[in-house]
Amino acid sequence: AKLHPALLDFVGAVRDPAFSLSLVGDPTTATALHSAAVQRGLAGRIRLCGYTTDVAATLAGFDVFAYVLNPRHYGTTENALLEAMAMGVVPVVLDNPAERELVAHRRTGLIVHTPAEFADAIAWLAAHPAERQRLAANAAAEVRARFAVDRTADALDAHYRAVLSEPKRGFDFRPIFGATPADWFLNCQGSARARFGSPPRATDTPHHLLERTKGSVFHYHATFPDDPRLAAWARQLEHAR
């Protein structure tokens, strides 16, 4: 669900025949992605590498870190992106909130908006190795300084100390989120909440609603098994998996 739903459009737009995209991590969507790539004649451009325990060695083999995420993803820290930048792998990202907070266009990486822009970015990096090296050096220096462990720990410690110094007060979240676990889940769904009506619907269910964790209905149901609405929604969505 975190990958851009039109990922293959981005891959297919790249003009360099030597280009391939390596996907590293648990292959939760590997079968579907491979089938779609085969249907579009792009099987040779997608490498499903699976899980790795040696991230540094894997990143060392990359020229570019193509991080094409779903515009509606809910990531904030983006550890994978920061690790790649720290290793001096130039990121090419979409103009999503988290990514544009971490990548400075043409200083520490490239920010694109469309498959055509992505293809242009890949072509430009291939044609300008000195610029790629400049971006790589900038990215590594920026991340290693801005997100150094000691600096991050000190900032977090200072934040919590500031919060602890404030007067304690109670806050009633029920008017905002509701009184039951099902209410809490529903009020965090935004435009997707209509899918959890009565009876619940599962037609054309987005992949992120089918996750087992990360705030999905299955996650809520596992945490609050006695809530009848969560149980009903989980049963209904199970058939859409």
Domain ranges within the chain, ordered by starting residue: 7-149, 174-238
pLDDT tens-digit profile of 2-24?
Answer: 889 999 999 999 999 999 999 99
pLDDT at 31: 84
pLDDT over 70 (residue 30):
yes
pLDDT over 60 (residue 200):
no
The answer to whether residues 115 and 19 touch, using CB atoms and an 8 Å cutoff, is no
pLDDT tens-digit profile of 227-236?
Answer: 999 999 999 8
Q: What percent of the chain has pLDDT over 90?
A: 77
Rounded-to-10 torsion of CA 187, 219, 74, 61: 180
Q: DSSP labels for 58-91?
A: HHHT-SEEEE-B-TT---SS-HHHHHHHHTTPEE
pLDDT tens-digit profile of 166-179?
Answer: 999 999 999 999 99
pLDDT over 80 (residue 137):
yes
pLDDT at 183: 96
Name every residue whose Cβ is closer than 8 Å to that of residue 145 and which is 6 or more positions away in sequence: 151
Regarding predicted confidence, which is higher, 163 or 26? 163
Question: pLDDT confidence of 85, banded at 50, 70, 90?
Answer: very high
pLDDT over 80 (residue 204):
no
Sign of CA dihedral 82, 88, 93, 99: positive
pLDDT at 29: 76
CATH architecture of the region 7-149: 3-Layer(aba) Sandwich (3.40)
pLDDT over 60 (residue 152):
yes
pLDDT at 194: 82
